Structure 1
Amino acid sequence: MLEELEIRDLGPIRHALLTPASGMTAITGETGAGKSMLLSAIKLISGGSADSGRVSADAKAAWAQGVFAVDDDAASAQGASDGNDDGGTSSSGETGTSSISDPVHIARNAGIEPDDGELFLSRTVPVSGRSRAVVNGRSVPRAMLGELAGGLVTIHGQADQLRIAAPTRQREFLDAVAGDERELIDYRRAWDALRAIDDRLERVRNQEASARQQADYLRESIDRINRVDPQAGEDDDLKAKRSRIENAADIAQGVSAALAALDASQVDVDADAEGASELINRAAQSLRAIRADGDFSGLADRLESINTDLSDVVYSLSRELDAPDDMDDLDELNARIHELGELTRRWGPTLADVIAWRDKAVFDLEDLDASPEKVAELERDRERLFREAVAAADRLSDARASAAASLAATVTDELSSLAMDGAALRIRVTKRTGAGKTPTWPLDANGADDIAFLFTPYEGAPELPMGKSASGGELSRLMLALELSAADRHAGSRTPMTFIFDEVDAGVGGKTAVELGRRLARLARTAQVIVVTHLAQVASWADAQFVVTKEPPDADDDAVGVVTTVEQVRGDARVREIARMLSGSESEASLDHARELLSDSRLKG
């Protein structure tokens, strides 16, 4: 929801601050007063194109900022429940759907946290140079403003709403109203699996001579490594063992001499000479026998600790003398070390690298294996996945067709109350069948349906694609009817949006204008509505009203030129503005009519 819109130096608006109501807000004023600048500001913070020509005279840059309230807790819960994505059901802001990508999720993916449940979207447009987009104080690409605004605001102006004439937008709108997220997720998974196996089949079928040579090389290399059957670290262990064997005599001589010095009985059981261990033990006993003052006991403890370590050394050395003589295995060791060395030279530098290379080569070989058996196996898998994708597409088509009939009937009923008697909307969901030019026909990334919104503006008129059969005002009212129908179907569960309607009252007057205002107010029960209007019968339904006024240039400062102000009107000021809209004057009769209109413009129930 848009909590605040602030503008500086944009066209004739030097400064304006709007705080729209949470329900319905009307923006009124004389023709040419500058109401379009408010829409321009919203488009700027929505990632629209920047025009330096709209910077106010004598200003260095135009600036606009929108403060949006977001449901931080709901976004966190949604992220925890569905984990990764929305199954491809997100749509753009132009269609006003409830499955738009969550703006909090988008912001957090960019490393931006909401500030007390608010997102600040701002845009600076200098007289020369590039514009700058900022979200919560952090510079972002312009495209990110568009992504965020897509989940926050929807503009329905004559130019903006023509985008729903595109089949893609119509499909997205229908999917959002249908609530077919689960069917879409299931289909997208089946489609991705089908595309993956198609890619693999294509690689296998299109192998050239170099690929077959690579397969032969991998196969021979895997066989050679498997014959040797290396174990990680085996070569280091064998080299250490070979070193011991080659230096066995020196080792035996050195170990024997060391043992003779430490404990002669380990070498010769009849030896009379005392070893180091016995001498240290005798020294410790001598220190403990001293009765005089001094740290002799502590020194004895240290000697005994040394003797314990010395005993461990003696034990380890004595085991060295007991080691078996492996001289006969030296030739086998050298042969094995040489064999392992050949592997590490080609696929090393270590045996662990050799093993890893072999394991990867096994998988690479599967993709390079173009044998008839392999192709046949992949084709069988492909046929199974295709059938699964078709079944998922059928379920999606059924959900769309059901929603299309219901939505079209609801919209047609709404149109009759908006001065469009005889107008009708039909939503055609055509399931593609038969053979096509691609292996995946009749499927594509979005199912197996061709979707078209067909509009009849009046009874007897030909049924034509939406956008080709309606004027700007008719299209605005058709979009309002669509949004009302979508809101009714998702009441209580729909993510609150900000809808902006411009020119929705074109060609409307009298009772129809009252009904138009009533329906905008009804939409404002589930969403925030901002409407730019010249009809008092529409503005009277608003919870808040802002008047855009064009002020003449300051006589003391001709350089400033015309200045546009934006002020909220309340109480008597609002009555006077409604009276002006009704009759162009503030006569007592028009003021009474304005008060009556404001009193009557209230939703019942």
Structure 2
Amino acid sequence: MLQELRIQRLGVIDEAVLDLHAGLNVVTGETGAGKTMVVTGLGLLLGARADAGLVRSGAATAVVEGVVDVAPDHPAAVRAAEAGADVSDGLVLVRSLSAEGRSRAHVGGRTAPVGVLAEIGEHLVAVHGQADQWRLRQSDQHRAMLDQFGGDTLRAALSAYTEVFETHDSATRELDQLRSQARDRAQEAELLEHGLDQLEQVDPQPGEDADLRVEDERLGHAEGLRGAAAAAHDHLAGSQEYAGEPAPSAMDTLAAARQALAGEVDHDPALRELDRRLAEVGYLVADLATDLSAYLSDIEVDPARMAWVQQRRADLTALTRRYGETVDDVLEWGRLAAQRLDALLSSDSRIAELEPRVAQLEAELAARALTLTDARTLAAAELAEAVTLELSHLAMGQASVEVRVSPRAAGLGKNGGDDVEILLAANPGSPARTVAKAASGGELSRVMLALEVVTGAAGAVDVPTFVFDEVDAGVGGAAALDVGARLAALAQHAQVVVVTHLPQVAAYADRHLVVRKASDGHITSSGVHPVEGEDRLRELARMMAGVDSEAALDHARELVAEAASRRAVAAPGPRH
């Protein structure tokens, strides 16, 4: 609900604050005072296209600010929060327009694109004027209004249909995908089977490529390795000859060194420690000589083994070239490929499961679509009757409304198998045509008012605030009182703001706001003022007679009393 609307430097309005009521808010004023600027300002606040010409002459900017009271879980609050707004204590919307044409928007204290204001506005306010009957110009909105009006029975039928539709849609898309990709799956399965056959034939083992690389290197240098190890062994343990005599070995040299110390080690601890270290070195050299001897016995030149190792490495390389950098990567590819192949081979069985399931869902969907059509057809007759009755109270007593439910040309969709169209026959004998084409501007507003009153009474109001501009065009006398009564009826279920020139409508106001203009001889400006009591009677008298004479004031009192009496008549009852 709109709590407050502040307008600054917009058209003839210099600065005005509209403190709005939860019920029926009526805006009146002399011709040219700027009543329509209230609706224009509200439109800007809700994302309408900006025109620099709206900025007050001599001003740099125009600003419109609105304070909205909505629950945190309301769709408007949720969208605002998504845009970064603070909605913990209501919602503040701001739109500014510069004289150069630049436009800015703020939502909950945060800068936001103007488009966000429009998205939020769709959940907050329905503006109905001669040029703004969007709900009647969009065919899907006709269906939405009927579904809202239809009550629990229609909503249950729509919910049951939607549930099956989503299940059917999901199963159908899966089946179509499986069928369309059958050739691709077969090709992929063939490639995977070929790769897995190669792995099975080679049978690589974890880390095998690294082990074979080391062995290949050793076998390729076996002769050199043997010679080097033998020479090292001889230097440590002996057997080489030097100048015809056996060459001294490292072990012989260490033994001689110890022998040289043997007679004196007992006389000095330091020398005894050096002898001990010589002994340790001797043991290490002896162990190393033994290890070299064992190495020599292990290494051998084996051309057959070398040929096998090289062929095995070539086989493994063929795998790593296709399936991974290492044998371990190849084995991981094999694991995943086996899983994927299993999934591909099971696709045919999945198709066999889905085909009867989709057929079953199609039959169930058709049955639920028929139930939904029946519910809509019944609701359509009731809606047409109720709106036609409402129009009889809105100076359109000769008009009749038809709500036509027909098969959807494109077949079943997410909202069922129906096209819904609201038709209007403006006069007896006239052909019923879609309401947006059959009604004039003022009639269109009254048709919209009738629809809102009927759907509001049915508990189907989907926005908290309705704005009507020129809904009373071409209406006067007792019919104008009926228009006011219908606006008051709608205000029992939602906040209503109406701009009017008719005192019969203004007499129903819960809050009466007057746009007044003033001039200093050079510049004319307007402001908005709430009126109550005698001030309100004077405004009604001005609207009726142009003066606030005693006779006019008496007439105004009678009009307010008449409105109160008519307001007591019950509005259309809610559907169950």
TM-score greater than 0.5 by the shorter chain: yes
| CA distance in 2: counterparts of 1:347 and 1:108, whole angstroms | 50
Q: Secondary structure in 2 aligned to 1:442?
A: coil
1:216 aligns with 2:190: yes
Q: Which residue of 1 aligns with 2:226?
A: none
State whether structure 2 residue 101 is matched by structure 1 residue 134: no
1:299-448 paired onto structure 2 within 5 Å: 346-348=322-324, 350=329, 354=333, 357-358=336-337, 361-362=340-341, 365=344, 379-432=355-408, 442-448=411-417
Counterpart in 1 of 2:499?
532
Q: Is the contact between residue 347 and residue 357 of structure 1 (CA under 8 Å) also seen in structure 2?
A: no
Structure-2 change in CA distance of 1:212 and 1:469 (3 Å): same
Say if 1:235 and 1:340, in contact at 8 Å, map to a contact too.
no
- In the alignment, structure 1 segments of 5+ residues that lack a partner are 76-101, 244-330
| Matched residues, number | 474
State the distance in 2 between where 1:3 and 1:149 align: 15
Asked if 1 retains the 8 angstrom alpha-carbon contact of 2:196 and 2:334, the reply is no
CA contact (8 A) 2:50 2:101 kept: no
The 1-side partners of 2:558 and 2:201 are apart by 98
Contact (CA 8 Å) 1:347, 1:353: kept in 2 or not? no
The amino acid across from 2:441 in the alignment is G
* CA-CA distance at 1:165 after TM superposition: 3.0
Cα distance in 1 for partners of 2:370, 2:7 equals 50
Which residue matches 1:45?
Answer: 45
Q: Secondary structure at the match of 1:550?
A: strand
> Retained in 2: the 8 A contact 1:343–1:354?
no
Shift of 1:566: 1.5
**Alpha-carbon deviation of 1:342?**
7.2
Matching residue's letter, 1:596: E
2:77 is matched with which residue: 77, 84, 104? 104
Code of the residue aligned with 1:408 in structure 2: it is A
Amino acid aligned to 1:508: V
| Partners of 1:57 and 1:195 in 2: CA distance | 58
What does the per-residue CA deviation read over 1:396-439, in whole Å, with 9 as the maximum and x for residues that have no partner? 2222222211111111121212222232111111134xxx7xxx
**Aligned equivalent of 1:459:** 428
| Structure 2 residue identity aligned to 1:354 | W
Q: Cα distance, 1:200 vs. partner? A: 5.0
Partner residue of 1:510?
Answer: 477
- Superposition deviation, residue 224 in structure 1: 5.9
Letter in 2 for 1:394: L
Report SS of the residue matched to 1:476. helix
Tell me if the contact between 1:235 and 1:337 (Cα under 8 Å) persists in the aligned partners.
no
Q: Is the 8 A contact 1:225 1:358 kept in 2?
A: no
Give, in angstroms, the shift of residue 550 of structure 1: 2.8
- 2:148 and 2:312 mapped to 1: Cα distance? 68
Q: Which of 582, 590, 597 is the aligned partner of 2:544?
A: 582
Instruction: Give 1:362 deviation, angstroms.
Output: 4.4
State the alpha-carbon separation in 1 of the partners of residues 318 and 91 from structure 2.
63
How much has 1:129 moved relative to structure 2?
A: 5.4
1:440-463 CA distance string (max 9 Å, x none): x52123221111111122323221
1:187 aligned residue (130, 151, 161): 161
CA distance in 2, matches of 1:127, 1:533: 29
SS of equivalent residue, structure 1 residue 508: coil
One-letter amino acid matched to 1:161: Q
Shift in Å at residue 468 of structure 1? Answer: 1.6
**Structure 1 contact 222–361 (Cα < 8 Å) conserved:** no
Letter in 2 for 1:528: Q
- Contact kept in structure 2, 1:428 and 1:452, CA below 8 Å: yes
- Are the aligned partners of 1:2 and 1:68 in contact in 2 as well (CA < 8 Å)? yes
Q: Secondary structure at the match of 2:14?
A: strand
Counterpart amino acid of 1:421? G
State the AA in 2 paired with 1:416.
S
Over 3 Å counting, the alpha-carbon distance change for 1:458 and 1:333 in structure 2 is farther
Match of 1:486 among 455, 463, 480: 455
C-alpha displacement of 1:465: 1.3
CA distance in 1, matches of 2:375, 2:464: 25
TM-score between both structures, scaled by the size of structure 1: 0.69
Name the SS for the 1:427 alignment partner: strand
Deviation at 1:530, TM superposition (A): 0.7
Matched with 1:266 is none
- 2:450 paired with 1:476: no
* Pairing 1:530-569 to 2, within 5 Å after superposition: 530-552=497-519, 554-555=520-521, 558=522, 561-569=523-531
> 1:573-596 CA distances to partner (integer Å, 9 max, x unpaired)?
211110000111112100111122
1:218–1:428: structure 2 CA closer, same or farther, 3 Å change rule?
A: farther
- Distance verdict in 2 for CA 1:7–1:344, change over 3 Å: farther
Check conservation: 1:238, 1:333, Cα contact below 8 A: no
Q: Distance in 2 between matches of 1:226 and 1:527?
A: 75
Cα distance in 2 between the residues matched to 1:228 and 1:19: 86
| Aligned-pair CA distance for 1:466 | 0.7
**How much has 1:382 moved relative to structure 2?**
3.9
What is the identity, as a one-letter code, of the residue corresponding to 2:70? V
For residue 5 of structure 1, what is the aligned residue in structure 2? 5
- Name the SS of the counterpart of 2:49 in structure 1: coil
In the alignment, does 2:125 pair up with 1:146? no
Amino acid at match of 1:184: L
Question: What residue number does 1:164 align with?
Answer: 136
Q: CA deviation at 1:380?
A: 4.3
Q: Does structure 2 retain, via aligned residues, the 8 Å contact 1:239–1:337?
A: no
Q: Deviations over 1:109-146 (max 9, x none)?
A: 44434132x11122122233542221101122222212
Alignment partner, residue 68 of structure 1:
68
Task: Give the conservation status (yes or no) of the 8 Å contact 1:61–1:124.
Answer: yes
Residue 333 to residue 69, structure 1, CA distance change in 2 (3 Å): farther
In the TM superposition, what is the alpha-carbon distance from 1:64 to its structure 2 partner?
Answer: 0.9
For 1:340 and 1:399, locate their aligned partners in 2 and report how far apart those are by CA, in whole Å: 71
Structure 1 residues 589 and 375: CA distance shift in structure 2, 3 A? same
**TM value normalised by structure 2:** 0.72
Q: Does the 8 Å contact 1:27/1:533 carry over to 2?
A: yes
Q: Percent identity between the aligned chains?
A: 41
Tell me which structure has the larger Cα radius of gyration. Answer: 2
Output the CA distance in 2 between the equivalents of 1:53 and 1:403.
46
Q: In 2 relative to 1, CA 216–141 (structure 1 residues): closer, same or farther, beyond 3 Å?
A: farther
Amino acid paired to 1:187:
Y
Q: C-alpha separation between the residues in 2 aligned to 1:481 and 1:20?
A: 23
Which SS does the other structure have where 2:505 is aligned? helix
Report the residue type matching 1:235 in the other structure: P
- Determine if contact 2:15/2:527 at 8 Å carries over to the other structure: yes
8 Å CA contact 1:496, 1:528 repeated in 2: no
Deviations 1:539-593 (A, max 9, x none): 01101111112323x34xx4xx332221112222211110000111112100111
Please tell me the residue identity of whatever aligns with 1:61: T
Unmatched segments (≥5 aa) in structure 2 = 215-305, 571-576
- Secondary structure of 2:436 counterpart: coil
Are the counterparts in 1 of residues 64 and 95 from structure 2 also a CA contact under 8 Å? Answer: yes
> 1:128 corresponds to which letter in structure 2?
E
Select the residue among 571, 574, 579 that pairs with 2:533.
571
User: Is the Cα contact below 8 Å between 1:348 and 1:354 reproduced in 2?
Assistant: yes
CA distance in 2, matches of 1:178, 1:229: 70
Distance change >3 Å, CA 65–CA 340, structure 1 → 2: farther
User: Residues 107, 344 of structure 1: CA spacing in aligned structure 2 closer, same or farther, 3 A cutoff?
Assistant: farther
- After superposition, the CA RMSD in angstroms is 3.9
Segment of structure 1 superposing worse, 25-34 or 208-217: 208-217
